[in-house]
């Protein structure tokens, strides 16, 4: 399934309604049944396009409505909140799309938690009907969930008993890690297709409260107000947000994309893509208010929005592309100046939210199942925030030149501003178990590190000279393109997240690995598998041998 756009606008929403009343926003899910690619979206079931709108709405609230302190997510349909991912879509989709779809929805739900944890609005799931599968997983990503007590509405994770797969967006992990449901109760709940209702759902800690239908709207308003009061109001002298304007890249007939600061070039002969980021000519606005006036045109935010869009197109629309090469061009002095602006203005709401947005884009890169390569050559500008692209790479090559013009530079932001899903910075992850090496790198903040110095500090993988550069880079890509894509994906995702396991790494490590495997097993997707049998009069036929 091809996805043309990863952005939307409230005027274009087909499946959500966004309303804002001072400090409380409401997102109402009202999925249109028609319009699926050969399937009907019944019972508020969602597909990728529903989730693209949700992601847009959440981001839009963050930047366009900074006064919002709590967001209510509810349904516009009677007795149904959300039945989860659309099953006919999953049953008919290619394997890679299923996996990428689950990954995207995971990232959207993780963003709710990240926004809530870092000064943004809190999220309340107003479950005015059945919340099953991915619908309940959306509620789990919220700060609170309130279920209507109408004798029929329940929460459930029916994927294992009904579909032979796992909840695709972190449900199992959030039930035990976030809501701290007892393991045996979680086992019971996750194999109970009809789910749990009312006071029993509260007792099991599956929801926070339940109310009779007659009191439900009133109580939701109380919960939303209480959540809003738990968030410090944004100090915004201008009194308005920043317009979340759409991206308008130029796309040629080969699929190459050119944005204002980023370009995406496809190299089908080596099954690779190159993303080039260009630094601006000047540091630009330096106070928080001036940055705010620049809005989405402020370079760091603009550039990372473009990187994200290019990345998503590679994920969904170019499955044959196995590697992404990052190049940068421009002035390192300018980039270091921009990092200083970011660091000095974290108390400004817009700068702070833009910084966390950049962090989430970097996390998207971390979990992208393509080999990540950084080439540092003449004219490169891997300094400060853009050095994160070196730190996240599976391989990095830095040219050793006689003039020592090729350099990288570290800034304070590399040592705490952009944590990975494991809770560590990329440099902490790189030097896991080597605190002295990490400290030595931190002592060199601000210095222009030439290739020999960067190599000695272990900041890059290889440092070939100009005689060997072309051959070493070519041989690497030739070798990589001959290896199993499945093996590489598994290897890379295992190696990228050293250190402590967190809820986020469980979702993207454990869940993604198991779901990836289960989605190709005949018990789930075979001719008589559970996904194919669902909704038909036929029972699934299982192979009962356990591996």
pLDDT at 514: 83
pLDDT at 346: 97
Q: Is 240 exposed, middle or buried (0-12, 13-18, 19+ CB in 10 A)?
A: exposed
Considering the entire predicted model, what is its pTM?
Answer: 0.96
Confidence at 535, pLDDT banded by 50, 70, 90: confident
Residues 473, 452: Cα–Cα separation, whole Å: 18
Confidence at 510, pLDDT banded by 50, 70, 90: confident
pLDDT at 37: 79
Mean pLDDT for the stretch of residues 313-327: 96
CATH class label, 16-229: alpha beta
Q: Is 470 exposed, middle or buried (0-12, 13-18, 19+ CB in 10 A)?
A: exposed
Q: What tens digit of pLDDT does each residue of 206-265 get?
A: 999 999 999 999 999 999 999 999 999 998 877 899 999 999 999 999 999 999 999 999
What letter does residue 159 receive in the DSSP assignment?
A: I
Lowest-confidence segment of 38-42, 69-73, 114-118, 278-282 by average pLDDT:
38-42
Where do you find CATH 3.90.226.10 in the chain?
16-229, 250-488
Give the CATH number of domain 250-488; options: 2.40.40.20, 3.40.50.300, 3.90.226.10, 3.40.50.1820: 3.90.226.10
pLDDT at 516: 84
Q: What tens digit of pLDDT does each residue of 40-92 get?
A: 999 999 999 999 999 999 999 999 999 999 999 999 999 999 999 999 999 99
User: What is the distance between the terminal CA atoms of the chain, rounded to a whole angstrom?
Assistant: 31
Cβ-contact 130, 79 below 8 angstroms: yes
Q: Is 543 exposed, middle or buried (0-12, 13-18, 19+ CB in 10 A)?
A: exposed
Q: What tens digit of pLDDT does each residue of 428-475 get?
A: 999 999 999 999 999 999 999 999 999 999 999 999 999 999 999 999
Q: Which residues contact 61 (CB under 8 A, 6 or more apart)?
A: 18, 20, 25, 68, 71, 121
């Amino acid at each position: 399934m091809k996805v043309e756009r990863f952005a939307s606008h409230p005027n274009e929403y087909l499946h959500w309604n966004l309303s804002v009343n001072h400090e409380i926003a409401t997102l109402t899910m009202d999925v249109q049944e028609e319009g699926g690619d050969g399937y009907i979206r019944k019972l508020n079931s969602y597909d990728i396009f529903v989730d693209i709108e949700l992601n847009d709405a959440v981001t839009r609230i963050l930047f366009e409505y900074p006064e919002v302190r709590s967001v209510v997510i509810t349904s516009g349909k009677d007795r149904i909140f959300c039945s989860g991912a659309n099953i006919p879509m999953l049953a008919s989709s290619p394997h890679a799309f299923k996996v990428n779809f689950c990954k995207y929805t995971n990232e959207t739900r993780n963003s709710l938690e990240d926004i809530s944890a870092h000064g943004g609005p809190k999220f309340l799931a107003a479950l005015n009907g059945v919340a099953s599968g991915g619908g309940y997983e959306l509620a789990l990503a919220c700060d609170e969930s309130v279920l209507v007590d109408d004798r029929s509405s329940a929460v459930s994770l029916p994927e294992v008993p009904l579909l032979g797969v796992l909840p695709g967006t972190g449900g199992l992990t959030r039930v035990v890690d976030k809501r701290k449901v007892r393991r045996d109760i979680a086992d019971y709940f996750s194999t109970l297709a009809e789910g749990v209702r009312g006071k029993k759902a509260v007792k099991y800690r599956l929801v926070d409260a339940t109310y009779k239908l007659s009191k439900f709207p009133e109580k939701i308003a109380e919960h939303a107000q209480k959540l809003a009061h738990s968030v410090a109001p944004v100090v915004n002298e201008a009194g308005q947000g920043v317009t979340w304007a759409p991206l308008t890249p130029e796309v040629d007939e080969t699929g190459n994309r050119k944005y204002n600061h980023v370009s995406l070039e496809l190299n089908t002969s080596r099954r690779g893509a190159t993303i080039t980021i260009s630094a601006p000519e000047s540091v630009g606005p330096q106070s928080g208010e001036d940055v705010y006036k620049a809005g989405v045109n402020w370079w760091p935010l603009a550039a990372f929005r473009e990187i994200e869009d290019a990345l998503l197109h590679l994920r969904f629309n170019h499955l044959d592309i196995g590697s992404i090469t990052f190049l940068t061009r421009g002035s390192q002095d300018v980039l270091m100046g921009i990092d200083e602006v970011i660091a000095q203005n974290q108390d400004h709401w817009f700068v702070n939210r833009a910084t966390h947005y950049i962090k989430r884009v970097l996390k998207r890169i971390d979990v992208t199942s393509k080999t990540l390569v950084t080439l540092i050559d003449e004219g490169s500008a891997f300094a400060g925030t853009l050095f994160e692209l070196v730190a996240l790479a599976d391989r990095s090559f830095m040219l050793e030149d006689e003039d020592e013009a090729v350099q990288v530079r570290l800034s304070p932001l590399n040592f705490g501003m952009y944590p990975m899903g494991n809770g560590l910075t990329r440099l902490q992850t790189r030097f896991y178990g080597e605190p002295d090496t990490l400290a030595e790198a931190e002592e060199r903040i601000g210095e222009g590190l030439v290739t020999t110095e960067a190599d000695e500090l272990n900041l890059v993988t290889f440092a070939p000279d100009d005689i060997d550069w072309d051959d070493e880079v070519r041989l690497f890509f030739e070798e990589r393109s001959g290896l199993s894509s499945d093996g590489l994906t598994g290897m890379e995702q295992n190696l990228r997240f050293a250190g402590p396991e967190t809820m986020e790494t469980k979702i993207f490590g454990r869940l993604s690995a198991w779901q990836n495997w289960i989605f190709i097993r005949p018990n789930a997707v075979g001719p008589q598998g559970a996904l194919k049998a669902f909704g038909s009069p036929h029972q699934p036929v299982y192979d009962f041998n356990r591996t």
